[in-house]
Every structure is written in structure tokens, then in C-alpha cells.
């Protein structure tokens, strides 16, 4: 086939691929909490590698552990970091203290690590530590937001704080729920801040605790997110699971402080079920934990709202990734994990995902296995894209875009073939993976193309009649499909 006809053929192959795939339906993200209070846990690098092969695309941690932040660089997984409760007072003092915290804890890892939120404290207002000042929480949040605003990062990184359900005076009926009286001034300030900055209201919601503490008055299926007969709210809402009722209770409390007309999203920052508890705790079993977390993940992916707000999406973070054998508290606190410290599953939960590496074959992989490929979706340069525009795109990605382009420099493994299209595809894909694989991160002035087929297969198919080009094609396929940007 003549070269110009070959290129034309390539273009049609790619268009056909996109037409066959069609537009993908929006699927809500599934997050997970990654706690590290254990002495038998896998390395952060292995955790990050293997989570790329699952449907988990957001990970929430409880500090700014540099090893974890480094491990999740260029994975396409969003990270939510935290200011520890004991450190909130320090960064509440002034913006300069907050700036120093951000500059040392977060700035060195972005944009390679996709950090999308900072949680200031965790259940800060309902902790038993009397030395924590409620006013410090609001000031710390405002200071951190000022730092992000100054650095031009306030749209990418949001500031919020996770609450326990104990910030509510009562949670039932959901329609009449309010914040606890003593917390009203602080909660009003926090909700106002979230409304002004577009950050979500985070709540840690656990139907397990409600059932465990009141087994005679709470239906097990209702707590396990099952489709029970339904619990009626005086305003006509019918709840078939407790989590929806808890979310709507928070929504009512937000409305009660005067922000009902604001579009404040509610995120379930923690929810889960333990597989083991104290003697006599009949609720904490592997079967119940499997049932709850399976339904929770389905709930997170479903895009469904709640009875009070059926069209409102709710982001959910499962608690937790691992059993943490050094965590304080009763037995259940150490047994919320889907995985044991050695990487074996406590019970089977389907975390596979259609467009992940290895076909999402997470079940077959070991925590001690070696190299794991990244997600099977790539951004490449369109075959007929203008080379001048591609050069501009290449300059952006390798400069302000933050991509490490050493591989396509003259001494790099991906320098050959020395073509703008090849180099641009490498840089575009690295940028795309780095920023979370959103379609808008592969536009590049109309020169980018998202593909769900391995570039190595595409290139093999496209150059099969040109033996001389096979070596170059293999090099390009390696760099785009298996290079450092997608590991």
C-alpha cells in the first residue's frame, strides 16, 4: 500500500475503533481509604501498582506520607491527603504556616501525583481530645485555601474536612435532622466555606455501628443496604437502606443552616463493615462485610441519588483497603479491611474493571508480583495532526505540563523514531495519565485521540505490510503503551 494510502487507512481504522466503542456512559468513581496503622502491610509502590488494575480510581489517606505520594505518581489514580488532627492548630495560626506545610508536604509531588483534595483533620469536632480548638479547624481550612488560591491550584485541589455522624443532633427522621446545637456556629462557618469554594461536605457514615448498638430496633437488611420493606419519613420519603437515610440527614442539616439552595455535594468519606468484632458481636462477620461492601461499591457506581435528592451523585470511599493490626480500639476497628496485611483477601469482593490493565484481572495477581502495566486507555496524536501544532503541544507537555520527557530526548530510549508525532504521542499520553485520564486532558487543540486499544497492537496492525518499519513501530508502541508514564 502506498504511504499516503496507508496513512488514510490508519485514520479510518482509528475512527472505526471509536465508532464501535461509542460514547462511554458516565460511571461514578469508587474510592477507598488506605490506612497504614499496621506492621505487616505491602509497600506503597505495590499497593499503587495493583490498584491500577481495579475499579478504584480515588484513594484517601490520613496524612501526607511521602512514600505513598511518590508511589501514586503517574498512576491516573486521584489522591486525597490529610492534615493530621494534632497539626491543625499549627496551620491555623497564619497563611505562612499553611504555605510552609503545603510547600513541604504536597507541592513536591504535584502534578505527577494527582492530588485533588486536602482533608483538614478527621472527625475533628467530635474527637475526645479536649485540646483541639473548633475555631482552629475553620481557620486552618481558610488558610490552606488561601495558599491554593495564591498558587493557582484552588480549582484542582479542594479543602474540606470529614465529619462523623455525631455532628448531628439526631439523624432520624432525615427530613428534620439538624447539626448539634453546640456545634452550630462552627458547622455554619464550615458549610459556608464549602459553598464558597465548591468543595464537598464529607461524612463518615457507618450503618454497622447503628445496628451493632441497637440490634433489636434496626433491621439487618436495612443496615446492609438491602432492599428492605422501607422506613418512612414524615415528609413522605421512603428509605430502603440506612446509608441513604444518613446522607439525607446530613443534607437536611445543611439546609437548616441556610444553604439549601447551594449545590454542596455530599461525599461519604468513609463507610464499611468489619469482618470480625468482639465476642458476642454477631454482626461483624466476613459474610456481612462482603455483602455490605459489594452493595456499597455497586451503590458508588450506580449514579443513583437519595430519596430526598434522586439526581444528586454521591461519591463514596470504602473503608478500608487493609486490616490494620496496630489500630487502637476494639477488635472491629482492626478488621474493616478488604485485604489482610499479607495481601490475601479477607473475603471476596469484585474489584475488577473492564478497561484496566490485564483486563482488570485483579483476582489473579499477587501483592508480591512484579511489574504491573497501567490502565488500558491511551492518548495519542491524531495521524493527520499538524506537526507545528504538535510541536507546540510537545513543548507544553514537557514544560508547564510537568511531564518528564527525558525518554524522548536524543539519548533517551524513546528518541527513535525521531518524529514529532511519536514524541508528541509519548508526551500527550504521559500528561493524560498524570491528570486522571479525563477526555479533556487529551484534547490538545484537537490533535489528541483517546484509544482503548493497546498502541502496540494498533501499530503492529498498521505497519504489517511494511517490514522495514516494524522495528520503529515496536519502539513507539513500547514508549506509548508501556513507558514510564503509565506504570
Q: Tell me which residue has cell 485520564.
A: 437
Q: Which residues contact 15 (CB under 8 A, 6 or more apart)?
A: none
Q: Model pTM?
A: 0.72
pLDDT at 373 over 50: no
Neighbours of 452 (CB within 10 A): 15
How far apart CA 216 and CA 166 sit, in angstroms, is 21
Report, as an integer, the average pLDDT of 177-185: 95
* H-helix or E-strand spanning residue 432: helix 420-434
d(CA 430, CA 398): 10
pLDDT band at 153 (very low <50, low <70, confident <90, very high): very high
Please state, in angstroms and rounded to a whole number, the distance separating the CA atoms of residues 321 and 327.
14
With a cut of 80, say whether residue 362 has pLDDT above it. no
Residue 307 reports pLDDT greater than 80: yes
Are 373 and 477 in contact by the 8 Å Cβ rule? The answer is no
Identify the burial level of 337 via C-beta atoms within 10 angstroms of its C-beta, where 0-12 means exposed, 13-18 middle and 19 or more buried.
buried
Cβ atoms of residues 188 and 321 within 8 Å: no
List CB contacts of 479: < 8 A, sequence separation 6 or more: 407, 408, 413, 414, 422, 426
Do residues 27 and 304 lie in contact, with contact meaning Cβ atoms separated by under 8 Å? no
Identify whether the C-beta of residue 229 lies closer than 8 Å to the C-beta of residue 223.
Answer: no
Q: Which pLDDT score is estimated for 454?
A: 56
Which helix (H) or strand (E) segment holds residue 162: the answer is strand 162-164
Per-residue pLDDT, averaged over 136-141, amounts to: 97
Those residues with Cβ within 8 angstroms of residue 125's Cβ, 6 or more apart along the chain or in another chain: 134, 137, 163, 167, 183, 186, 187
Per-residue pLDDT at 336 exceeds 90: yes
Active site residues: 123, 270
Of how many residues is the chain composed?
Answer: 487
Separation CA 452–CA 433 (nearest Å): 13
| C-alpha cell, 277 | 468484632
Given a cut of 70, is residue 21 above it in pLDDT? no
Sign of CA dihedral 90, 95, 100, 105: positive
Amino acid at each position: 500500500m502506498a504511504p499516503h494510502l496507508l496513512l488514510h487507512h490508519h485514520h479510518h481504522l482509528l475512527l472505526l475503533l471509536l465508532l464501535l466503542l461509542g460514547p462511554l456512559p458516565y460511571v461514578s468513581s469508587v474510592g477507598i481509604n488506605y490506612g497504614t496503622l499496621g506492621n505487616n502491610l505491602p509497600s506503597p509502590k505495590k499497593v499503587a501498582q495493583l490498584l491500577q488494575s481495579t475499579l478504584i480510581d480515588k484513594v484517601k489517606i490520613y496524612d501526607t506520607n511521602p512514600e505513598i505520594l511518590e508511589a501514586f505518581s503517574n498512576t491516573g489514580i486521584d489522591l486525597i491527603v490529610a492534615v493530621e488532627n494534632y497539626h491543625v492548630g499549627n496551620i491555623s495560626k497564619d497563611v505562612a504556616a499553611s504555605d510552609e506545610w503545603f510547600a513541604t508536604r504536597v507541592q513536591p509531588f504535584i502534578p505527577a501525583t494527582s492530588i485533588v483534595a486536602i482533608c483538614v483533620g478527621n472527625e475533628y469536632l467530635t474527637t475526645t481530645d479536649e485540646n483541639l480548638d473548633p475555631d482552629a479547624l475553620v481557620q486552618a481550612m481558610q488558610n490552606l485555601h488561601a495558599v491554593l488560591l495564591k498558587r493557582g491550584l484552588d480549582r484542582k485541589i479542594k479543602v474540606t474536612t470529614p465529619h462523623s455522624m455525631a455532628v448531628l443532633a439526631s439523624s432520624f427522621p432525615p427530613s428534620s435532622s439538624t447539626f448539634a446545637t453546640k456545634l452550630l456556629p462552627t458547622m455554619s462557618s464550615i458549610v459556608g466555606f464549602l459553598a464558597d469554594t465548591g468543595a464537598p461536605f464529607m461524612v463518615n457514615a457507618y450503618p454497622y455501628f447503628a445496628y451493632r448498638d441497637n440490634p433489636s430496633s434496626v433491621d439487618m437488611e436495612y443496615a446492609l443496604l438491602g432492599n428492605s420493606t422501607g422506613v418512612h419519613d414524615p415528609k413522605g420519603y421512603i428509605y430502603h437502606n440506612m446509608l441513604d437515610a444518613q446522607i439525607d440527614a446530613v443534607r437536611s442539616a445543611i439546609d437548616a443552616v441556610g444553604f439549601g439552595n447551594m449545590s454542596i455535594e455530599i461525599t461519604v468519606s468513609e463507610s464499611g463493615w468489619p469482618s470480625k468484632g468482639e465476642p458476642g458481636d454477631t454482626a461483624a462477620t466476613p459474610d456481612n462485610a462482603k455483602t455490605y461492601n459489594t452493595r456499597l461499591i455497586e451503590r458508588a457506581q450506580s449514579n443513583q441519588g437519595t430519596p430526598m435528592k434522586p439526581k444528586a451523585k454521591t461519591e463514596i470511599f470504602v473503608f478500608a483497603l487493609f486490616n490494620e493490626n496496630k489500630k487502637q480500639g476494639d477488635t472491629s476497628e482492626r478488621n474493616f479491611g478488604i485485604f489482610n496485611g499479607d495481601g490475601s483477601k479477607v473475603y471476596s469482593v469484585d474489584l475488577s474493571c473492564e478497561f484496566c490493565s490485564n483486563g482488570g484481572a485483579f483476582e489473579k495477581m499477587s501483592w508480591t508480583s512484579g511489574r504491573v502495566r497501567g490502565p488500558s486507555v491511551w492518548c495519542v496524536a491524531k495521524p493527520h495532526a499538524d506537526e507545528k501544532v504538535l510541536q507546540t503541544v510537545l513543548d507544553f507537555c514537557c514544560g508547564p505540563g510537568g511531564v518528564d520527557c527525558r525518554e524522548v530526548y536524543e539519548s533517551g530510549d524513546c528518541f527513535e523514531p525521531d518524529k514529532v508525532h511519536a514524541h508528541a504521542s509519548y508526551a500527550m499520553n504521559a500528561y493524560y495519565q498524570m491528570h486522571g485520564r479525563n477526555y479533556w486532558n487529551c484534547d490538545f487543540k484537537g490533535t489528541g485521540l483517546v484509544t482503548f486499544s493497546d498502541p502496540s497492537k494498533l501499530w503492529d496492525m498498521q505497519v504489517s505490510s511494511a517490514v522495514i518499519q516494524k522495528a520503529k513501530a515496536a519502539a513507539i508502541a513500547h514508549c506509548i503503551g508501556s513507558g514510564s508514564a503509565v506504570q
